[in-house]
Amino acid sequence: MIQRHPSFSSELATIPELRKHRLRRIYLTTAVQNLLNLSTDTTLFPWARRTPTDGLRATIAVALALLIGKFAGHPAAGAIAAAAAYSVGFAVFHEALASTLLSMGLLTLGIASATLAGSLCAQWTWAVLLLAVVAAINYALLSDLSATAGWIGQQCAVYVVVASYFSQGLHYAVGRTSMVLAGGALQMLVFTVFHFLRHRAAEANAPPLTKRLRLRVAQLVTRLRDQLHPSHATASYTLRLAITLLLCTAIYRHYHVRNGYWSPMTGLLVLKPQWTSTLSRGIARFLGTLVGAGIAFLIALYIPLTTPVVFVLIIVFAWASIALQAVNYAAFSLFVTLYIVCLFHFGGFSEASAAHIRLFNTALGGAIALLVDATGKLIARQTASSRSSTSANFVQ
């Protein structure tokens, strides 16, 4: 019989222990990495991405819209125009065609159309649910076309969701749409003045706009042809987004939840094609909204909310959200919450003390988005596993 050296036997005995130790290290490293990935939208602050100058320019149109509405005796109309100017101001970070100005114009027409459709359908739940599905499909397909196209689709979906909450008839729908167009046009005017004052020489040396436009349109047409045959990932994301909006909208309309549009709007903004991105965005948005709602409650409790005070708060919060939009999503959500609360108070749509209701709706929308996303990924994983098993059995 062959005799083994004792030291050799002891080395063999340590192999399982070494393997277990390595597996523990791998699992721990993976867990830490996943935790870091989930917290990137909350804990990281790349300050080099801040845009304070762009934020300042964008808030000029917001301030003008509020002042014009107030002095004209229609603060609600001024608030609607200011909201549109605020949204269109983000176009400086996106170029849908060959210029930022064209992006602004395209977005203005998109959100105005979305506002009209949402306002006209607001009194019928079935119509609002149908609009939610159309908005989800439009947003998901445009997201696959380009980042800028996806952003435009997202903003249009947001305006559909918000407008469909307020059911006040044809006169209101037309008036609200007109104010959205006015706010977008005002932002375009302010941008044009600053752009040509600062970049007149660069604009003169740039290629002609028509040439840039033809090139960009050709690129978009090519991508659009590819979109006629969407990938499985795009179809899956579209389905998950549509289900999320349907569930959020159906719940808030069935139970008549106050400010219920925050629920589908949160689901729309949180849900992303990748699970990790959805969870990271969901955590950041919830924490930002939580802190923002708490600050808004304290402001309403201890500060007299006179018109000048609310006006200043709107401008400060709008500027901060635009300046930090690329720095940290939690901070962005915080200032967006404060901005919207103050803007709605200025327009007489709701009270600043109702921030806790928005927090509930945000939590509801985020939870539904995460649940739908996790369920979709689980079904996809089980389907892939079944296909693998079937293929293996077929080969055997």
Q: 328 and 251, same structural domain?
A: yes
Q: State which residues of the chain have pLDDT below 70.
A: 1-41, 95-98, 199-232, 275-278, 350-355, 384-396
Q: 121 and 262, same structural domain?
A: no
Is 8 inside a domain boundary? no
Domain residues for the domain of 278 are: 232-381
User: For residue 300, how far is the Cα from the chain centroid?
Assistant: 27
CB atoms within 10 A of CB 327: 17
How many domains does the chain fold into? Answer: 2
Is 374 inside a domain boundary? yes
Last residue of a domain, one of 194, 219, 244: 219
Is 248 inside a domain boundary? yes
Q: 313 and 201, same structural domain?
A: no
Which pLDDT does position 345 carry in this prediction? Answer: 86
278: which 2 tokens?
């959805």
Which pLDDT does position 181 carry in this prediction? Answer: 96
Handedness of CA 188, 194, 197, 203 (dihedral sign): negative
Is 151 inside a domain boundary? yes
Q: 293 and 249, same structural domain?
A: yes
Q: 280 and 329, same structural domain?
A: yes
Residues 314 and 347 sit within 8 Å (Cβ to Cβ):
no
Distances, alpha carbon 109 to alpha carbons 128, 151, 185, 284, in Å: 20, 14, 10, 30
Q: 289 and 188, same structural domain?
A: no
DSSP string, 161-172: HHHTT---HHHH
Is 284 inside a domain boundary? yes
pLDDT, tens digit, for every residue of 94-115? Answer: 765 567 888 888 899 999 999 9
Q: 190 and 62, same structural domain?
A: yes
Q: 92 and 64, same structural domain?
A: yes
60: CB partners within 8 A, 6+ apart: 190
Which pLDDT does position 339 carry in this prediction? Answer: 92
Is 27 inside a domain boundary? no
Q: 207 and 106, same structural domain?
A: yes
Distances, alpha carbon 341 to alpha carbons 95, 273, 336, in Å: 29, 29, 8
Q: 204 and 246, same structural domain?
A: no
Residues 142 and 132 sit within 8 Å (Cβ to Cβ):
no
Last residue of a domain, one of 219, 243, 268: 219
Q: Kindly tell me the burial class for residue 243, based on how many C-beta atoms sit within 10 Å of its own C-beta (0-12, 13-18, 19 or more).
A: buried
7: which 2 tokens?
């030291």
Q: Which own/partner contact pairs does 64-67 have at CB distance under 8 Å and 24+ positions apart? A: 64/186, 64/190, 65/182, 65/183, 65/186, 66/311, 66/314, 66/346, 67/311
Q: At what angle do helices 147-163 and 75-89 cross, to 10 degrees?
A: 160
Residues 110 and 152 sit within 8 Å (Cβ to Cβ):
yes
Q: 289 and 180, same structural domain?
A: no
Direct distance between the N- and C-terminal alpha carbons of the chain, in angstroms, rounded to an integer: 41
Is 25 inside a domain boundary? no
Last residue of a domain, one of 219, 251, 279: 219
**Largest distance between two CA atoms of the chain:** 105
User: Which of 130, 40, 18, 19 is CA-nearest to residue 329?
Assistant: 40
Is 13 inside a domain boundary? no
Q: 320 and 202, same structural domain?
A: no
Which pLDDT does position 88 carry in this prediction? Answer: 93
Q: Would you put residue 111 in left (φ > 0), alpha (ψ -120 to 50) or beta?
A: alpha
